[in-house]
Amino acid sequence: MDMDIFNRIISRKFKNIAGDRYEQIAKRYREFLLLPEELVLPEVRSILFPIDRFSLDIPDELLETLSAYSGAFVKLVYVSEERTLRLIEQTLGEEEAEKLRMEKIRFARQTVKDFAPKLERLGLSVLKEPIIGSKSDDVIDMMSAQDFDLLVISRSFGAEPTKTSPTSPVVLKILQHIEKPVIIY
């Protein structure tokens, strides 16, 4: 939408309400209005979509939003925390840690396999990958090394939200280290 058209619409809407005050307000707050180039949506061809056991509830509104990127490539990654396995290994031994590793990989493979059709129905091309690593560091590394256009992440990724923070500390750390657009659901 052209900025001039946008200004005329606003002027017409507030014509009989604010009178001359609208013009003064528009001049004072001009820096807050979007420029024409800012009204253009960036092209999204690749999406990183990390999930874990805390982030499996996907709202319908998110799926509707993602349908706007039909034809894009999505890397759907289920990330299991490696630190947990090291703690198990230190306390219960290597054999128990290996059993847990195998169970985590089995669960991750099944979860991405069950989850991927929701994205594929939107016309997205999905690569499924279960990994064991660091939820924050691996997502940050993938965003920078593989140059994704968009990150889609649950506010619960890595941990349950608390009463004091609606977003998990893992997500906050990720957001501090990436410069690409992010959708948080």
Listed residue (174, 170, 173, 152) closest to 161, CA to CA: 170
Cα(184)–Cα(113) distance, integer angstroms: 22
CB 155 within 8 Å of CB 50: no
How do the residues of the chain divide into helix, strand and coil, expressed in percent and rounded to 5? 55, 15, 30
List, for residues 35-81, the tens digit of each pLDDT value: 767 777 778 999 999 999 888 788 999 999 999 999 999 999 999 98
Quote the tokens at residue 100. Answer: 């847990």
Q: In terms of pLDDT, which residue wins out, 3 or 94?
A: 94
Torsion sign across C-alpha atoms 130, 134, 139, 142? negative
- Residues 89-113 have a mean pLDDT of 89
For residue 13, the model assigns a pLDDT of 67
For residue 16, the model assigns a pLDDT of 64
Quote the tokens at residue 180. Answer: 């690409």
Percent of the chain whose predicted confidence (pLDDT) is above 90: 51
Quote the tokens at residue 51. Answer: 């999930």
pLDDT of residue 145 exceeding 80: yes
